[in-house]
Structures are given as C-alpha cells and as structure tokens.
Amino acid sequence: MRYIILILLALIFGCSRSQNQTANLDKKDSTKNKMNYNKLTPEEERVIINKGTERPFTGEYENYFEKGTYICKRCDTPLYTSDSKFHSGCGWPSFDREIPGMVKRVPDADGSRTEIICNTCGAHLGHVFTGEGFTDKNTRHCVNSISLKFVKDTTDMKTGEVKTEKAIFAGGCFWGVEYYFQKANGVKSTEVGYIGGHKDNPTYKEVCSGKTGHIEAIEVEFDPLQTSYEEMAKLFFEIHDFTQTNGQGPDIGEQYLSEIFYFDDAQKETAEKLIKVLTDKGYKVATNLRKATTFWQAEDYHQEYYQKNGHEPYCHARKKVF
C-alpha cells in the first residue's frame, strides 16, 4: 500500500512539474513573440492594441490606390492586396476580401458588429460588413489606416525582375556621403553629381565657384525589397550634421548644403515625417526639401573616391538619432 501511495504522489508531482515547465515555456514563447513585434506609437497602440478607431477621412490609405500589398503594422503579415481595395466613401480604407487565412473575424462583445484582427498577432484592424452591395463580393472590410503598412509592388510585369528605386541626397562633400551609402543594406549602386542649379553639364570647378546654383549630391539606387526610402533617408540624416546652415563641417558654401531632392509625394512625405521626428527631439533641422531636377554626373575621379583611394571621410561620421 505504501508503494502505491508513493507512486501516485510521484505521478501527481511529476505531472505538476511538467505542467509548470510547459507554462514557463509558453510564457517564454509569448515573450519572444511579443519582442518580435514592431514598436508602436501611443496612437498606434490605442487603435491596434486597445481596439480604438481613427477619425474618418484622416487615414493615410483612405484614398490611396497604388499597386501593392497592405501588411499588418504590428507584425508585417500580408493582409490585403491592392486589387481588393475599393472606394466606399465611408471614411476608412475598404477591401472586399482578405488574403486567405490572414484575417480573423471575432464577434464584438455586444454582438452588434464583427471585429477583424490580424490572424498572426491579434492586432485590431477594424470591422467587416456584408450585404451592402459595393462590389460583387458583397463584403466590406472597414480597416483603420493606422493598422496597416503599404508595400509597393516593385515587380516588372514584363521581365519579372524587381524594380529598383532611386533617391537623391545632398549632405556636404559627396565623397563622404557616398562612402556610407555604399555600405548600406539594399543599395545596388551610387553615383555622385550635381543638382539644383541652372547650368547644364556643370564641372566641379564651376560648381565650386558658387555661380551655378548646383549642389553636390548623391543618387542612390536601392532594392525596395531589402530596404526602403525611409531607411535611406534615416541614414542620410545620421551621417551628416543636418543642423548646419552654411555647409558641412569645414566645407562651407552653397554647394555643401543639406538637402533632399524627392522624386514623388511619397518621398516628400517620408522626409517631412523624419524632419518632424527630429524637430520633436529638439533638433533645429536645416535640411531643405526640393523636387528632383536633372542630376548631372560628376567627373569620373569623384566616383567612389574613398574606395579608390583607401581613405575615410574627414567630415562625415554616423551618429544614431532615430
């Protein structure tokens, strides 16, 4: 009898320990998964975590119809493709179908509506409605823009190859700017040159005279599947003194000013957003924004200058500010 009791006790305590170990592992896994989520702003948390709603007609994607994929702001899971998006006039982005298996429907506590959440991380997206007749799917996913991120389709339909994107930055001597961008993830090529002035095919000597209106700059070609324009712009701000108003370091003159030359509204908005972030941090940002004009390639001896000469920049160094 004593042996039977001991065996039962061993089984009980053994199961208890096993359950505790399992619980601890689950807790560790949960913590790990949470750590892998993207960091959210307080307003993003209000909507995505606490199931709030952004004001109608204020979201970034309400009237946005570029070709690409909408992914979860919290975990980057693909949720909707652009061909499922339509204009409903409700004030929020509308989709008539999700990517299969990526969006979960959950009844609201009061049973009046059906909530939609990311099936991967549980992020609140919005609500789903049926029977309205907007499209032949007869379904409307009413989604908060703030719950989404958009990834532009960069595939060339004819060749199947990934389309690269370009960016132009001016942050002082273009030798040093190019040095850091050549090392950046996703950058396919760089070229230094002149932009912003009134003279065609300017020479280095003419630009240095200050009579052409041109500025030393770098044109960066990057793979949007490996990096983003925002990451490129962040690097730009972190490798030069964007608060200096008369040049960069010891290089003084209009050809060394801090400027971003944007190709489209999306690049402009990204640059403006980052400048606001820096301003909110207390920096007096001197960087100007201008629509990109003709980029004139600099002389060959300026291209990949530090790589050819084995030196390092004298007035550029990376400093984390984001």
Of the residues 121, 142, 208, 315, which is catalytic?
A: 142
Of the residues 121, 173, 208, 315, which is catalytic?
A: 173
Q: What is the DSSP code (8-state) at residue 246?
A: S
In angstroms, what is the C-alpha Rg of the chain? Answer: 27
What DSSP element (H or E) covers 9? helix 2-35
User: CA 309: distance to chain centroid?
Assistant: 34
Record the tokens describing residue 222, joined without a space: 């990057």
Which CA distances in Å does 1 have to 7, 15, 232?
10, 21, 75
**Is residue 173 annotated as part of the catalytic site, yes or no?**
yes
**Is residue 118 annotated as part of the catalytic site, yes or no?**
no
> Alpha-carbon distance 217 to 220, whole Å?
10
* Half-sphere exposure (Cβ direction) of 96: Cα atoms closer than 13 Å: 15
**What is the SS3 assignment for 61?**
coil
Q: Point out the residues that are catalytic.
A: 142, 173
